[in-house]
Chain A
Amino acid sequence: GQNIDQPTEMTATEGAIVQINCTYQTSGFNGLFWYQQHAGEAPTFLSYNVLDGLEEKGRFSSFLSRSKGYSYLLLKELQMKDSASYLCAPSDSNYQLIWGAGTKLIIKP
């Protein structure tokens, strides 16, 4: 079957660094996306990894290990506006995104 495993909820402090882990199992693999979703809003695209390694984009970085079925999203210099759910979504052999429930990140002052 296909499944995503992420922590349900994480808490971090403003200005700090947080890493959100994701393990996945899919039928085929065509890359992995990370999306941010604020409460009551639609997801917004953050990053895409298809090769192993780290992709850095400003305060956000995403890492992928295909052999381990593992990815993480690293958020630096946390801001209060980063409080949101973060969705790890691998793309399967049909280029269909597989969605989990995401990780709710709570930022405290």
Chain B
Amino acid sequence: GAVVSQHPSRVICKSGTSVKIECRSLDFQATTMFWYRQFPKKSLMLMATSNEGSKATYEQGVEKDKFLINHASLTLSTLTVTSAHPEDSSFYICSAREPGGDSDTQYFGPGTRLTVL
């Protein structure tokens, strides 16, 4: 299957700082990438859909000024958590949709565990 990388895998930061998470599709070009967050033992929650070259589409309740998404190329999307607070601590996972074929399968990155102190 297609490979998606995510960096960093784990980050600890102080309250008020900003954190950037990168998501890369390594062996395919992804016109669409997705950002999710997941709390322990809870389902994945879609935060936003990122389309290359255009503004991201945010889900209801997700602050676009707090979670900045940039999808500047067909293989890279970034999520920046601005002015992070302890309640932003979570597991952030990106996925990239492999185009073509019948399924448009989403492949996930390994995730980033964010801890805000």
Q: Which residues of A contact B (CB under 8 A)?
A: 31, 33, 35, 40-45, 48, 50, 87, 91, 95-97, 99-102
Contacts and interface: CB of A to CB of B under 8 A. Distances in A.
B111 A101 contact: no
B110 interface: yes
B44 to A, nearest CB: 4
Contacts of B91: 40
B65 interface: no
A45 B43 contact: no
A95 B104 contact: yes
Interface of B: 1, 6, 41-46, 49, 91, 93, 97, 102-111, 113
A102 B102 contact: no
Given A41-B111, A45-B1, A50 B102 contact: yes
Given A96-B46, A99-B44, A42 B93 contact: yes
A101 B43 contact: yes
Given A42-B93, A43-B44, A45-B1, A33 B105 contact: yes
B19 to A, nearest CB: 18
B107 A45 contact: yes
Contacts of A95: 97, 104
